[in-house]
Amino acid sequence: MRTWIRRPRLDRLATHLVLALVCLVTVTPYLWLLSTSLKFPKEVFTPTPQWIPWPVNLGNYAEVFDRAPFGVFLVNTVIVVTGILAVQLVTITLAGYVFARRRFRGAGLLFGLFLVQMMIPIHATFLPNFLTLQSLDLLNTRVAMMLPFFASGYGTFLLRQAFRQIPRDLEDAAVIDGCGGLRFLWHVLVPLARPTLVAFALISLVSHWNDYLWPLIVTDTPDVRTLTIGLGMFVQQESGADWTLLMAATAFVTAPLMVIFLVFQRKFIESFMFSGLKG
């Protein structure tokens, strides 16, 4: 027995066409980036755009690594973003649970403050944060790049909403059966809130992968610096960018995220899709 009806041919064709178009629009800049990263400077700005690089220049990638230690930068970036995410998952889950389930005096005000934190622009906070890190003697460390982000107002907000959607009866029943508080949180709520956690993880990873100004201000030496700072070396105000090198460096900086997404995309989509179907 078929579980769903096959849609008419034309309908499927139209859908595929639209998807192909959207795909083209999204992927084209990246293809141009890859193409430029394999060109010589004289072939980049020809009067008619050249899609296939000819002659091919494999030297750009080598030159990028020669200009700055991108391998070290990659390791540092991975450490920083996974460190931030690991701590964030703990803090937002606990805070989200409290705001969703516990009543106490000042809860509303406190949650309001969490929301306000989301709206404060980074330029207002980086001097106080810098002074804090200086007094803790943590300047020029990887921890310095992570510390201000350990608590996330945005994440707390998302988790609170996710937890609120799970019926109270479920928790009451669990309490009666002897499973309360943290056990309930870990064994029931967190698995049910998985799509939210995955969504938040993606946002956190990508946004902190791209952090530039804060790492630049708080670090001095290449041994702790991150990919974006290295990338910044190829974009200059006075002369415009070093295009072939910039494209090669960008390809390198974005590749890990692309690979992660391509490898795990099934899992990501599955977790969104099946969230509603569990009985």
Partner 1 sequence: MRRHWLTALMALVLVLAFAAGGAEAQQKLLRLTFYYPVGVAGPLAKVIGEMTDKFNKENPGIEVVPVYSGDYDPTLQKVQTAVMAGNPPDIFIVEISELPTLLAMNAVIPLDDYVKKAEGGKYWDDFFPAFRENSVVRGKIWWIPFQRSTPVFYWNKELFRKAGLDPEKPPQTWAELKEVAKKLTVREGSEVKQWGVTVSGGWNDWLFEAFVRQNGGWLINPEGTKVNFDSKEAVEALEFWVDLMYKEKVGPPHSTWGSTPPDFVAQRTAMLYHSTGILTFLRNSAKFDFGVAFMPKNRTFGAEVGGGNLAIARKISKERQDAAWKFIAWMTSSENAASWSLASGYVATRKSAYDVPAMKEFLAKDARYLVAREQLQYAFGKMMAPNFQKIREILKRQLDDAVDGKVAPKDAMQIVQKQVEAVIKR
* 117 vs 163: CA distance, rounded Å: 21
**Distance in Å, CB of 67 to partner 1, minimum:** 5
Q: How many residues bind partner 1 (CB under 8 A)?
A: 34
Q: How many CA atoms lie less than 13 Å away from 148 in the CB half-sphere?
A: 24
Residue 174 tokens read as 């669990």
x/- contact string, 21-50, with partner 1 (CB under 8 A)? --------------------xx-xxxx---
Q: CB under 8 A: which stretch of 73-81, 157-165, 190-198, 209-217 binds partner 1?
A: 209-217
**Distance in Å, CB of 45 to partner 1, minimum:** 4
Site for partner 1 contains 137 (CB under 8 A): no
Site for partner 1 contains 74 (CB under 8 A): no
Site for partner 1 contains 51 (CB under 8 A): no
Close Cβ partners of 220 (under 8 Å, ≥ 6 residues apart): 139, 140
Residue 279 tokens read as 């009985």
Residue 113 burial class via C-beta count within 10 angstroms: exposed 0-12, middle 13-18, buried 19 and up? exposed
- Distance of alpha carbon 4 from its chain centroid, rounded? 36
Site for partner 1 contains 243 (CB under 8 A): yes
Site for partner 1 contains 232 (CB under 8 A): yes
- Amino acid identity for residue 180 in this structure: G
Positions in the binding site for partner 1 (CB under 8 A): 41-42, 44-47, 66-68, 126-127, 130-131, 134, 212-213, 216-217, 220-222, 229, 232-243
